[in-house]
Amino acid sequence: MQNAQQLYTEYVTIMQKAADLNYAAAVLGWDQETYMPPKGADYRGRQLATLATQAHEILTSDPFGKIVHQLAGMDGLDDTQSANIRLSVEDYERNKKLPPAFVEELSRLTSESFNAWIASRRQNDFSVFLPLLTKMIALKRKQADLYGYKAHPYDALLDEYEKGATIAMLDPVFKGISEQLPILLDKIKAAPQVSNDCFHRHFPKQQQWDFSIDVLKGMGFDLEAGRQDYSEHPFTTSFAPADVRLTTRVDENNYASLLWSCIHEGGHGLYEQGLPGEQYGLPLGAAASLGIHESQSRFWENCIGRSLGYWKHYYPILQKYFPTQLSDITVEDFFKAANRIEPSFIRTEADELTYHFHVMIRYELEKALIQGSLNPKDLREQWNAHYNKYLGITPKDDKTGVLQDVHWSHGMFGYFPTYSLGSFYASQFFGQVQKDIPGLHEKIQKGELQPILQWLRNKVHQYGRRYTSEELCERITGTKLDPQFFIQYASKKYSQIYGISL
């Protein structure tokens, strides 16, 4: 009879074999969004479906289930091994609910749906994407039924991205934000607006790219263990801590597009590079949750990248890349421009206050689509109505409206709320960083960001999935997630920028 360590070794071998398949699929997915020729779409869908099905079959097989359940009842494992087994049992029970045929069907549809989304954006016509989106929503409803839920089918999908999250938890969070943010936004609206014209001059593509590489290096992103490329929608994917891929997009007449997506995705990339390599393919080698993942990107993008101290170091460097474009702009003016608050159409380019209304809109629409109270054919109309209701603007076309996000083409229903959760975690973590690192702001002004990265490595990255989001937050800050930290952070920052009294 095998002892615990022998059986654990067998468990690791199986887990890593499945991980190899999943990461091979991730490579194909990355290629699909960056370099794959359009005619390769059908074959790519087949390849991705094959790999996803094989990995799923490995991790839902009866022999594998027997191993993890047996290990769960054995002595002789250390704390790390026990945590991996505990999480693997949970994953097994959840994955087992999805038949292999369903996984294959979902994978194929995801590939088809993504290609339809790309075509739909190019034609600026939602109707091109609608048939595939309708199929995807039906399949995600089926997935929710297979997983099972107590109160709302959306809860089953939320749990994929943020363990334990439910609409009963999220509704009050968004309600609170929707009641408090407008108070700050109304005061900002009444104050003189800051100019962001400096972002809308002509910035050649190559210089934008070159500076973005400087920014990533400064953050600590290891370019020998990762790279950056262009894609239709910025994203980060990882095949191992030593191979992390970032993507961005460029607009030569809107510098904000590349700059903020670069820093945002860089935050995701640092998290992936900081996960423990010795836990490859195991739960403790994966991120805690999507909310925590987003906390890393929003932390770097907003708390650090949109701070005055950061630009006191980087602005002289940026001016060397764009001496003509920025010759008449001071660092203070550039900082204010980077933090201009104004309703806009594109979520990924929204300011850090109105951003949460972008998320809330998607959250409300997703719930209705999954519940069945909103017909997909009415989505464009409802999208525009929600933007008018929450932000007072109406999208001019489908590309800046209902077609702007890639997520639904990937079947990622339940993902969007993690963006706001990530911002709330980020501000709470930032408050703790300021307490834990003496002279933090002076270090940022000197471009010394390594202490911040090391803090994140020690407090967040090294643990993988050992703790839930709430447990990790409480471990780091002494309290569970509290959106009031974000309100306080935002009030202090923007009262200074706009000269308002709160």
Residue 349's pLDDT is 84
> Does the pLDDT of residue 1 top 70, yes or no?
no
> What string of DSSP letters covers 403-456?
TS-SGGGGT-TT-THHHHHHHHHHHHHHHHHHHHSTTHHHHHHTT--HHHHHHH
Q: What is the mean pLDDT of residues 462-478?
A: 97
Domain boundaries, the chain: 4-131, 167-498
pLDDT tens-digit map of 14-41: 999 999 999 999 999 999 999 999 899 8
Q: How far apart are CA 56 and CA 12, in angstroms?
A: 16
> Does the pLDDT of residue 2 top 90, yes or no?
no
Beta strands 243-248 and 236-240 are antiparallel
Other beta carbons less than 10 A from residue 378's beta carbon: 12
pLDDT tier at 455, thresholds 50, 70, 90? very high
Long-range CB pairs of 178-186 (<8 Å, 24+ gap) are: 178/357, 178/360, 178/390, 180/487, 181/353, 181/356, 181/357, 181/487, 181/490, 184/353, 184/487, 184/490, 184/491, 184/494, 184/502, 185/341, 185/353, 185/354
> Does the pLDDT of residue 295 top 70, yes or no?
yes
pLDDT tens-digit map of 197-206: 999 999 999 9
Residue 495's pLDDT is 95
* Residue 56, both tokens: 């799923």
Q: Which residues are catalytic?
A: 265
> Does the pLDDT of residue 177 top 80, yes or no?
yes
Residue 233's pLDDT is 85
Longest dimension (CA), the chain: 77
Q: What is the mean pLDDT of residues 259-274?
A: 97
Q: Give me the CATH code for the 167-498 domain, please.
A: 1.10.1370.30
DSSP-derived 3-state class of residue 250: coil
> Does the pLDDT of residue 323 top 80, yes or no?
yes
Q: What is the mean pLDDT of residues 264-280?
A: 98
pTM of the model: 0.92
pLDDT tens-digit map of 204-224: 999 999 999 999 999 999 999
Q: What percent of the chain has pLDDT over 90?
A: 97
Cβ distance 190 to 239 under 8 Å?
Answer: no
Residue type at 69? H
Q: How far apart are CA 152 and CA 166, in angstroms?
A: 8
pLDDT tier at 501, thresholds 50, 70, 90? confident
Q: How far apart are CA 246 and CA 229, in angstroms?
A: 6
> Does the pLDDT of residue 325 top 80, yes or no?
yes
What is the chain's length? 502
pLDDT tier at 328, thresholds 50, 70, 90? very high
Average pLDDT, the chain: 96
Q: What is the mean pLDDT of residues 350-360?
A: 95
Residue 127's pLDDT is 97
Residue 345's pLDDT is 95
> What string of DSSP letters covers 22-50?
HHHHHHHHHHHHHT--GGGHHHHHHHHHH
Q: What is the mean pLDDT of residues 423-448?
A: 97
